Amino acid sequence: MMARVSDALNSGGGPRGGPRPVLLVTGSSGLVGSEMCAFFAAEGYAVHGVDGNQRAFFFGPAGDTRWNQARLERDLPGFVHHELDVRDRPGVLALVETLRPAAIVHTAAQPSHDRAASIPFEDFDTNAAGTLNLLEAARRACPASPFVHLSTNKVYGDRPNTIRLKELETRWDYDDEGFAEGIPETLPIDQSTHSLFGASKVAADVLVQEYGRYFGMPTCCLRGGCLTGPNHAGVELHGFLSYLVKCNLEGRQYRVFGYKGKQVRDNIHSRDVARFAHEFIRRPRCGEVYNLGGGKTNSCSVLEAFRIAEELTGRPQVQAYVDTPRMGDHIVYYSDLRKMRQHYPAWDVSVGLRDIFSEIVASWRARLCR
Ligand SMILES: NC(=O)c1ccc[n+]([C@@H]2O[C@H](COP(=O)([O-])OP(=O)(O)OC[C@H]3O[C@@H](n4cnc5c(N)ncnc54)[C@H](O)[C@@H]3O)[C@@H](O)[C@H]2O)c1
């Protein structure tokens, strides 16, 4: 269902002249949030970011995102940082009421499948209740403003593991023509094992759809595969490629959990995620769901990722194998991108897998030298 374009975007303001439209980005110091800030600032938006560096609480000092916040404040003219927790309901309602943003991109989250089990309250309150706070704030203050929510492929639980697979030399792959293009949005999301993270993200995903369907708001869920890029504070529990490259450069052991290291992920540069959000905000629809990843072309197994990292850095990947897979982990996942391409033909994946790796290597080299 196509939505009416936000009043704020139509009122003559913004990129084509007049006052700049305001974009509110939650999780602005994280990988995807910071990319959104930079992308939309370049498109002429006045960008307001919300982050409280919770990533450092979730993952310890290695997850700290203050460096990225400082980078945005230094490099983006007019960027405003709000030190706010999305769980703070009155704070969120007040901020959205004050800003009345032309669009909202919600990326703040507890993002780890594995970490959620040890912090279930923080996980649910952030992912589910935090999303409700933002949706309701938007409904009250700016219901016509597009709302882009970063969901996850973990909403499908481990159901993708029920698809017949074939074992190849360095990876598993689907052995079912019905999934030759990858996982479509029609795959059922219930009656499978999700992890607590997957469950809290399902709650958020369904809420975002409901605000679109029930209230007619221009919302969408982007069910991400591996979203990656140079500005990730990759840790063992979240940020697969970023952490793998960091381990490679530091000569530190990378642990592979099960499936012979042949488990497959599709990787998409966070810039391509921002490009899609931009397309959606320009021509929003109501309550939509998209599987957003690099697709089969940008997919790799852990073993294949080791080889690419080694080729680019010239350093051997130190590794250890743990026979037990992560609970509910996908064996093969790559996104079927056909719905995105059909709804938004101007969009496609623009950064290839090797270039993604090269940017991550360059970024870690610079950060580790500091
Ligand atoms: N990176 C991936 O591979 C991936 C894959 C699928 C989905 N996603 C989703 O994309 C979104 C962004 O992921 P990312 O990789 O950029 O994560 P990230 O951890 O790099 O960024 C999230 C940011 O949100 C902030 N944050 C967390 N809780 C907060 C709270 N309560 N209040 C305010 N700020 C808070 C963190 O401090 C962090 O800076 C998340 O919703 C995640 O579930 C990511």
Q: What is the Cα–Cα distance from 173 to 365, expressed in whole angstroms?
A: 33
Cβ of 63 closer than 6 Å to ligand 1, yes or no, is no
Low-confidence ranges of the chain (pLDDT < 50): 4-8, 10-14
Ligand 1 mean position, distance from CA 158 (Å): 21
Rg (C-alpha) for the chain, rounded Å, is 20
Cβ of 295 closer than 6 Å to ligand 1, yes or no, is no
Cβ of 108 closer than 6 Å to ligand 1, yes or no, is yes
Residue among 37, 54, 244 whose CB has most ligand 1 atoms within 8 A, to mutate? 54
Ligand 1 mean position, distance from CA 196 (Å): 16
Cβ of 198 closer than 6 Å to ligand 1, yes or no, is no
Cβ of 204 closer than 6 Å to ligand 1, yes or no, is no
Cβ of 129 closer than 6 Å to ligand 1, yes or no, is no
Sign of the CA dihedral with 176 first, then 182, 183, and 184 last: negative
Q: What is the Cα–Cα distance from 319 to 247, expressed in whole angstroms?
A: 9
Ligand 1 mean position, distance from CA 260 (Å): 28
Cβ of 105 closer than 6 Å to ligand 1, yes or no, is no
**pLDDT recorded at residue 238:** 84
Q: DSSP state, 65?
A: -
Ligand 1 mean position, distance from CA 107 (Å): 5
Chain segment 137-179, per-residue pLDDT in tens: 999 999 999 999 999 999 999 999 999 999 999 999 999 999 9
Cβ of 267 closer than 6 Å to ligand 1, yes or no, is no
Residue among 64, 113, 226, 227 whose CB has most ligand 1 atoms within 8 A, to mutate? 227
Cβ of 122 closer than 6 Å to ligand 1, yes or no, is no
**pLDDT recorded at residue 20:** 93
Cβ of 313 closer than 6 Å to ligand 1, yes or no, is no
Ligand 1 mean position, distance from CA 110 (Å): 6
Ligand 1 mean position, distance from CA 150 (Å): 8
Q: What is the Cα–Cα distance from 242 to 265, expressed in whole angstroms?
A: 13
Cβ of 292 closer than 6 Å to ligand 1, yes or no, is no
Write out the DSSP string of 157-214: TTGGGGS-EEE-SS-EEE--GGGTT-B-TTS--SSS--HHHHHHHHHHHHHHHHHHHT
Q: DSSP state, 259?
A: G
- Measured by CA distance, the residue closest to atom 25 of ligand 1 is 27
Chain segment 195-254, per-residue pLDDT in tens: 999 999 999 999 999 999 999 999 999 999 999 999 887 888 888 899 999 999 999 999
End-to-end CA distance of the chain: 49
**pLDDT recorded at residue 234:** 85
